[in-house]
Amino acid sequence: MATEVTTKEYRLLIGGQFVPAASGETFPTYNPATNEVIAHVPKAGREDVNRAVAAARKAFDEGPWGKMTPMERAKRMRRVAEILRERLEEIARLETLNCGKIIIESRADVAASANCFDYYANLTGHMWGETIPMNGPLFDYTVREPYGVCGQIIPWNFPLLMAAWKVAPALAAGNTIVLKPASATPLTALVLGEICQEADIPDGVVNILTGPGVEVGAAIAEHPDVDKIAFTGETETGREILRLSAGTIKKVSLELGGKSPNIVFPDADLEEAVNGSLFAIFTNAGQRCTARTRLFLHESIHDQFLSDFIAKAGKIRVGDPLEDATQMGPVISKRQCERVLSFIERARSEGANLALGGKRPDDEVLQKGNFIEPTIFTQVQNDMTIAQQEVFGPVLSVIPFRDESEVVEMANNTIYGLAATIWTNDLKRAHRLASRIRAGNISINFPTVNPPEAPFGGFKQSGIGRELSRHALDLYTQVKNVVVNLADERFDWYGKWPVGQK
Ligand code: NAD
């Protein structure tokens, strides 16, 4: 496997300057396909958080960002989209090098990130308020105003795209930002910072800090000058974010984990359901919060469906993610690889049947990276660990069901509620299930998709708030109510009191 080492020197972005960490420390970042170091990045700490928050505060309070017209903000955001498209191939390679996703998926992520900036550029002039009829001679209206400084903390599974989902709507609404990428995947977020500067987004509006979550993430979440926190990551870290931000009553939005069901009824187009279900679990090596990790098969099609599904899953080409022919890359880190393997061990010990994979590939070259074969467990019970906890790897649990009520009960029986897929050609059943399943994102006869136009987020412990679409503007603005007295008569409450009763 070819090794590429980036020779570029990466810096934090604070107040429009590319700077080292205050401590001068750096940390290595790796290629998950080889576990070789590909770059060193600054290891920010609390002092850097203070500097970045101060820069974001100044840029928000003193401008010029807040004073720009929506159209001027939009122009700069469109420029970000343009540069992302101009540099698509280079950024996609960097993404693959740092997070291991196959190059075709990285190209799609860069294109989707550009689309996200364009989409929100188009919404900058749409922060509409309301006029509200009132009793008496009062005129009432609302305006939507940005929160101010937004702390944004993102995970490693879609490093650039998660940054775009957070930065673009926050900018459209006129906020300033301190963004912290995941420690495992700092590179493309730093590149996005450079692009924002090149696109003439004023100094201090976008600040980017790389460093450990427990220190940098926590310092952002606690900081009294940060008005809002947007976090994507594990549910457990989300709980910690809520605790840390409680001290200053921050506005918080959370996009957390999932254990999403994928339900196949006998009346579906079964070939399409097989193909869609493969996509729903094995893309990004299963490291998708919306991965459909529990495949519910109706008992009448269970065996036939599985034999086709397993045959196709067994042919997925695992290998060098930079090669166009490769269909699945490694998981993010040695640690994650060990974690996934321990879930596999646990599933076996709890009695699930290993029908495919379950180990690292034998190939000597692949042994150096964090590769795991596509893995399928059958005869899974919905209460087993493998069906309840988020694995975040290429591991699927297959569970048979008898009827609609039983499958709805099992589908809903987790702490999560992020997404679900239903394969059926029965129109009534499709919509009935869409209503009965407690999840924020349902797809019918389609594996999973998150375009910028549609809201995205979780029920239950999968999150708080909705990203993407117009709904994301609600996450980054607050409503101010203004009441205006239009009466000719002078207001005088106490002057109206009957004489002698004052
Ligand atoms: P993680 O929770 O470990 O880390 C997420 C981010 O939080 C990282 O930047 C990390 O450095 C930071 N962090 C860690 N500890 C922190 C702390 N104590 N205080 C503040 N920040 C801290 O998650 P991950 O392993 O990077 O990502 C995988 C998880 O993300 C999965 O659970 C997945 O389901 C979830 N995810 C959810 C969505 C969604 O939209 N619902 C999308 C992608 C990923």
pLDDT in tens, 68-114: 999 999 999 999 999 999 999 999 999 999 999 999 999 999 999 99
Q: Does any domain span residue 490? A: no
Question: Which of 124, 116, 118, 113 has its CA nearest to residue 73?
Answer: 124
Pocket of ligand 1, candidates 153, 235, 253, 471: which has the most ligand atoms within 8 Å of its Cβ, to mutate?
A: 153
Three-class SS state of 380: coil
In a shared domain, residues 474 and 368: no
Q: Does any domain span residue 27? A: yes
In a shared domain, residues 205 and 163: yes
Cα torsion 134, 136, 141, 147 to 10°: value is -90
In a shared domain, residues 34 and 48: yes
383 token code pair: 């209460």
Give the tens place of pLDDT for each residue, 379-414: 999 999 999 999 999 999 999 999 999 999 999 999
Average per-residue pLDDT in the chain?
97
Give the tens place of pLDDT for each residue, 130-176: 999 998 899 999 999 999 999 999 999 999 999 999 999 999 999 99
Whether 449 lines ligand 1, by a CB cut-off of 6 Å, is no
CATH number of the domain that residue 314 is part of: 3.40.309.10
Is the pLDDT confidence value at 5 over 80?
Answer: no
Q: Give the distance (Å) from ligand 1 centre to CA of residue 99.
A: 14
Query: Domain tally for the chain?
Result: 2
Q: Does any domain span residue 495? A: no
In a shared domain, residues 35 and 179: yes
Number of residues assigned to the chain: 502
Nearest CA, atom 21, ligand 1: 217
The span from the CA of 442 to the CA of 267, in Å, is: 19
In a shared domain, residues 196 and 311: no
> Residue 32 belongs to what domain range?
15-256+462-481
Q: Does any domain span residue 244? A: yes
Residue 421 sits at φ, ψ, to 5 deg, of -125, 140
The per-residue pLDDT for 226 is 98
Pocket of ligand 1, candidates 244, 289, 337, 460: which has the most ligand atoms within 8 Å of its Cβ, to mutate?
A: 289
Question: Which of 124, 121, 141 has its CA nearest to residue 132?
Answer: 141
Is the pLDDT confidence value at 281 over 90?
Answer: yes
Whether 218 lines ligand 1, by a CB cut-off of 6 Å, is yes
The span from the CA of 3 to the CA of 26, in Å, is: 21
The span from the CA of 353 to the CA of 380, in Å, is: 7
Whether 257 lines ligand 1, by a CB cut-off of 6 Å, is yes
Whether 151 lines ligand 1, by a CB cut-off of 6 Å, is no
Ligand 1 atom at shortest distance from the alpha carbon of 255: 41
What b/e readout covers 279-299, taking b as 16+ CB neighbours within 10 angstroms? ebbbbbbbbbbbbbbbbbbbe
Whether 215 lines ligand 1, by a CB cut-off of 6 Å, is no
In a shared domain, residues 196 and 59: yes
The span from the CA of 201 to the CA of 427, in Å, is: 48
Q: Does any domain span residue 502? A: no
Q: Does any domain span residue 423? A: yes
In a shared domain, residues 285 and 195: no
Pocket of ligand 1, candidates 109, 234, 475: which has the most ligand atoms within 8 Å of its Cβ, to mutate?
A: 234
Q: Give the distance (Å) from ligand 1 centre to CA of residue 423.
A: 30
In a shared domain, residues 286 and 435: yes
In a shared domain, residues 166 and 274: no
Whether 155 lines ligand 1, by a CB cut-off of 6 Å, is yes
Question: Which residues sit opposite 230 in a β-bridge?
Answer: 152, 253
Residue 499 sits at φ, ψ, to 5 deg, of -60, 140
354 token code pair: 């290993």
Q: Give the distance (Å) from ligand 1 centre to CA of residue 499.
A: 67
The span from the CA of 77 to the CA of 363, in Å, is: 45
The span from the CA of 82 to the CA of 313, in Å, is: 37
In a shared domain, residues 129 and 85: yes
Nearest CA, atom 26, ligand 1: 155
Whether the ω angle into residue 64 lies within 30 degrees of 0, i.e. cis, is yes
Confidence band of 502 (pLDDT split at 50, 70, 90): low
The answer to whether residue 350 is catalytic is: no
pTM over 0.95: yes
Q: Does any domain span residue 455? A: no
In a shared domain, residues 206 and 272: no
Whether 226 lines ligand 1, by a CB cut-off of 6 Å, is no
In a shared domain, residues 411 and 315: yes
Q: Does any domain span residue 311? A: yes
Q: What is the CA radius of gyration of the chain?
A: 25
Q: Of 105, 255, 373, 467, which one is the catalytic site residue?
A: 255
Whether 323 lines ligand 1, by a CB cut-off of 6 Å, is no
Give the tens place of pLDDT for each residue, 195-242: 999 999 999 999 999 999 999 999 999 999 999 999 999 999 999 999
CATH number of the domain that residue 27 is part of: 3.40.605.10
Give the tens place of pLDDT for each residue, 326-361: 999 999 999 999 999 999 999 999 999 999 999 999
Ligand 1 atom at shortest distance from the alpha carbon of 180: 9
